[in-house]
Amino acid sequence: MKQLLTIGLVFVSVCIHAQFDSSYINKADTFFLVKKPGIIGKLAQNISRSNLEAPAPATKNDEVFVPYKGKQIRNIQIIQLGLGGNVNDPKEVVVNDLNTLADKVHITTRAAVIRKNLFFTEGDSIRPDLMADNERHLREQPFIQDALLRVIPVPGMPDMIDVLVIVKDVFSLGVSANIGSPEDGELVISEENLFGSGDQLSFRTLYEAKRNEPWGFGANYTKRNIAGSFTDISLGFQTYRPAFNTGKRNEHYRYIRLSKSLVNPYMKFTYAIEAGQSQTNNMYLPDSAYYADARYDANVIDAWAGYNLGTNSYFKKSRESRFRHFLAIRGFYRHFNQVPDKFQNVYNYQYADLRGGLITINAFRQDFFKAKYVYGFGRNEDVPEGVNLSLTGGYTDKEQRLRAYLGLDFQRFYFKTRGDYFNFTFRASTYLHKANPEDVAVLASMDYFSKLYQRGGRWMQRNFFHFSAAGQYRTLLNEPLYINNSFGLAEFRRGDLQSAARITTRGESVFFNSWSFYGFRFAPFVFGGFSLLKPIGATWAKSDGFSSLGGGVKSRNENLVFGTMELRMFYFPRVIAGMNRFRIDFTTDLRFRFVSQFIKRPDFMSVNQ
Give the residues across from 430 on adjacent strands. Answer: 406
H-only helix segments in 106-256 = 111-115, 128-140
Beta strand pairing call for 200-208 and 215-223: antiparallel
Task: Report the chain's C-alpha Rg in angstroms.
Answer: 26
Expressed as residue numbers, the domain containing 157 is 3-169
pLDDT value for 39: 42
- Please tell me the predicted confidence (pLDDT) of residue 597: 63
CB 427 within 8 Å of CB 472: no
Which amino acid does the sequence have at 1? M
Q: Which candidate, 160, 159, 138, 141, places its Cα nearest to that of 149? A: 138
Q: CA-CA distance, 384 to 115, in Å (whole number)?
A: 25
pLDDT, position 97: 46
Say how far apart CA 170 and CA 141 lie, in whole Å: 10
User: Residue 584 falls within a domain, yes or no?
Assistant: no
What torsion, rounded to 10 degrees, do the Cα atoms 379, 558, 465, 486 define?
Answer: 130
CATH number where 41 lies: 3.10.20.310
DSSP assignment letter at 416: -
Closest by alpha carbon to 134, among 62, 82, 225? 62
What distance in Å separates the CA atoms of residue 142 and residue 590, rounded to the nearest whole number?
Answer: 13
In a domain, 121, yes or no: yes
Using alpha carbons, select from 136, 45, 195, 188 the residue that is nearest to residue 519: 45
Q: Which helix (H) or strand (E) holds 510?
A: strand 499-513
* Beta pairing partners, 370: 59, 382
Q: Residues 329, 305: contact at Cβ < 8 Å? A: yes
Three-state DSSP at 39 gives helix
Domain membership flag for residue 39: yes
Q: Is residue 217 part of a domain?
A: no
- Asked whether 146 and 87 are in contact (CB, 8 A), the reply is yes
- How far apart CA 354 and CA 339 sit, in angstroms, is 14
What SS3 class is residue 476? Answer: coil
Report how far residue 224's alpha carbon sits from residue 142's, in angstroms, rounded to the nearest whole number: 11
CB 101 within 8 A of CB 64: no
Q: Is 193 exposed, middle or buried (0-12, 13-18, 19+ CB in 10 A)?
A: buried
* Res 561: pLDDT: 66
Quick one: which of 478, 530, 542 has its CA closest to 504? Answer: 530
What is the number of structural domains in the chain?
A: 1
pLDDT for position 33: 44
The candidate with the shortest Cα–Cα distance to 371, out of 445, 450, 446, is 450
Using CA of residue 84, residue 87, residue 93, residue 97, what is the dihedral sign?
positive
Q: How far is it, in rounded angstroms, from Cα 386 to Cα 370?
A: 14
Evaluate whether residue 461 is within a structural domain. no
Q: Give residues with Cβ within 8 angstroms of 478, minimum separation 6.
A: 349, 439, 441, 472
d(CA 61, CA 58): 9
pLDDT at 104: 67
User: How confident is the model at residue 94, as a pLDDT?
Assistant: 47
Spatial contact of 554 and 569, defined as CB atoms under 8 Å apart:
no
C-alpha–C-alpha distance, residues 138 and 116, integer Å: 11
Nearest-angstrom CA–CA distance, 516 and 48: 6
Q: How far apart are CA 592 and CA 575, in angstroms?
A: 28
Strand-strand pairing, 157-169 and 72-81: parallel
Q: Is 330 exposed, middle or buried (0-12, 13-18, 19+ CB in 10 A)?
A: buried
Give dist(CA 483, CA 500) in Å, integer.
Answer: 11
> Would you call 569 helix, strand, or coil by DSSP?
strand
* Cα distance between residue 17 and residue 90, in whole Å: 9
Distance CA 575, CA 62 (A): 49
The answer to whether residue 501 sits within a structural domain is no
Q: What is the structure's pLDDT at 254? A: 98
Q: What's 314's DSSP letter? A: H
- Helix, strand, coil % (nearest 5) of the chain? 10, 50, 40
Q: What is the block-wise mean pLDDT of the chain (609 residues), using blocks of 10 residues? A: 36 29 34 46 46 66 91 94 75 50 76 95 93 92 91 93 92 81 89 94 95 96 96 97 92 97 88 97 94 96 92 54 86 96 92 95 88 83 90 93 96 90 96 94 96 87 96 92 91 82 96 81 94 92 93 84 83 89 81 63 90
For the chain, the distance separating the N- and C-terminal CA atoms, rounded to the nearest angstrom, is 27
Query: Does residue 81 belong to any structural domain of this protein?
Result: yes
In a domain, 327, yes or no: no
CB 186 within 8 A of CB 12: no
pLDDT at position 590 is: 61
Give pLDDT, residue 314: 52
